[in-house]
Structure 1
């Protein structure tokens, strides 16, 4: 419990300078404060340190005087310079101590001396919280009237936060300690939030039923909370609901009251898969078990008969048989193994425990099974007809939920879009079941950064990811007839086979092929290209704030830069633009790029240097561009290689010139002859031609692509599938 830990020695800060001894008088002053005001006066006049703090807890004379409620002593100490804001080792000020003892006059005095009404100790307790904890109702009222924050959550230390400590409010404290009057005042007079939860997700109702042992007190507290709208299906530690806690603590009347509530989920389970009835049987709470059975609790929630017989409880056994408990109870198979490695342990647990089915769906709304947060009901693990799935929750009338289902129903199998299994509705909620994936694109890139010490220069990793994303978006637009409207890394998932899947269609819109409707998707896709090729080193949220020009400028390669430009400025053919872009050089392997250069260089007009030919006019329509990497290319080739290649033209002195056509002829000729035995030295210089020319002239392939893409010569480009292949790789990639 939090109050047990806030005075623990290991959690105390280093003693302050005030705790250094200032002579025996200072020690005597601590003792004298407990009763003898004249002695206190004498010691102060003799030079005792009014702000001296004893070593063990950091108590000062002022803290002690406040603790015993001595107003006269407090006034005297303040007149002699006592620090009204001095902190004990646990961070408590005299003002907070005054809240503990509930002394209104001292609270008022200390506020006038500089105390802050919402000041906290090191564990996040305020005077208001302490007054609630100890049931000091007059102090509660005074603090509230002077600005105390009623719904302030306990702000604890960082290491405690990581353990999900803290977050409790004054209402939870009053409920936990059973202070009925303080609870009533907090709810009726101060508007305390009855459903606020601490960092473990526990509400005031959970705190009360988990800690109160006296049934009459628990009944009064629960009645007050429920009357003010407390959620009866909230969960506490180990996933226990208020109903389960009431059964465990044998609060029969609380169980009765809970079962009268309209939205009680009588068959809900804790993290071990135990229902309230199973707990009642296991703990031999026969009267409670009878009450639960009479209210329709399911008797197929475990081997109830075996439990009753093990306890030799024939009355309980008969009760269960009368309400349909079966002799042949069979628990789920223990050797079941999930496909998912990432979610495996949680899925095995979900498979093992009992859960009431929602149609074909088995699900447990608990942190152990949460996949991700959403703007509505979150995403959880589930089992749909035995198939492990991710389940998105929506309100049954949610527009986003309807969008999601409508779009998913248009998706076919073997796609780069997530598979849709089905949906269920229950108690006003819509459950949408889709393929369970292992990680988001963001996680995938982070893992790749850690594992790849030396990056592959060709970057096949990024190319393959983006190819799948492009195919997914193209399919969504053209085959499904939807725009996505929310393309970002968290909505691109990686499944158990390492395939890329596009997900989350709750913002998707139906469209009729109007080109302008795809603009937002294309711009988001352009930013995704940069995000992927940069391996996520720039957060996507940052990229969204940058202009299109900035995104293009930060692209690391000619191909990716050009690809992004095409996405930002798609031209007139927006409808089929993505499908066309699947043939962009970005998606060509370096070997495919090299093969393209050789094939173009094999054109007869290039080999014969026919300057009047259409292809040479296309490749070099004007003077050479000195900004290109292939400007004066002959000087950039290895000297020996250049000399050897020029030997072929030594007789007629028709040597290679610094033109694009001659560079392509050079690449073609080198490819034809480099593997000959006589050219072994040249081979050692060049090594892999596809790598050599890509690195030497990184903008050459894009230049060739742009000059020839709308001409007959595009026949030399790699043939790619147009996106109708259900996400398969391009044929020559």
Structure 2
């Protein structure tokens, strides 16, 4: 006990005071010497006294990742946001070094998540630049601004810009997941994608891919704009854009002024991939244009047999006529699309619809004979179309063929005769 008492007294006698104690505190933090830090704080070392560089004991402890020392300093009322001469706070330094737990400790002590260094970069920016995705995640969760106005005014891009430029894949992913703007223009006039490209061949292709996909998503229109974009995508048979627009809830059955829907337009283009997506999204297959033309009617008019097959599989009406009375089988026969004729007959299309007769329209066999559509005549006769049916003009199909003039092949007259 005598030796113990005198040893403790020696330590106390040697404990530095005043300026010496502050210098000793810097050294203890540099060496991550928790016991010495504790003793020095007990002897009232100046916890917030900066060095000539502006570094405080907390700054030095943070540089060393000395969490035990940091905790003692914080408990002793160390100012967590005192910055160096360059404006770097302890949190900035922790994020620059990827010391996530040190950053967490500082945030728990109410360190400012936004305080930038004098050149404009803030903690989230430096974490992204250095590729410390855990720090990025921590700072985002703490409410760090993804595009600080002060940084922009200082000529600094966003954290997403620098992450793309440096090829920090995980940081790019974290920032996009936090809804960082992939279309933001930095003071250099670059988007994040351009920043990635300007980073050169060292930037992983995955970074460019991630930011490109985010750009597409960000440019995806909503509301009325999304419906207009859906029309355009169908016009261009752009399957990927149609899929994206449908995922963003574009109005699938909203008609244009002409009455055309997205499905009508896709059918006109023969864009089966787009058609399938629209049908899967509950597009109404029998919505007609202002002239009464359904998607099936249009497919048959254009001879798009597989499009017609797809529509029929989606339960499109095989009989619905346009307003002037012609139905899909009639238009297929008029245009000479024998494959469509065969498909429609197999689907149960009526060979002589009463509604068509009442509207003054002849049968498909009449129009096929009149237009000289040999293969269609053969298909219709093979399906037992009536060769003696009298149309509203008082003609039989044979008479309709004769009235078609010299352009009607003799084979048509022979078949119907």
TM-score range, shorter chain: 0.3 to 0.5
Higher helix share: 2
TM-score by structure 1 length? 0.26
Structure with max Cα Rg: 2
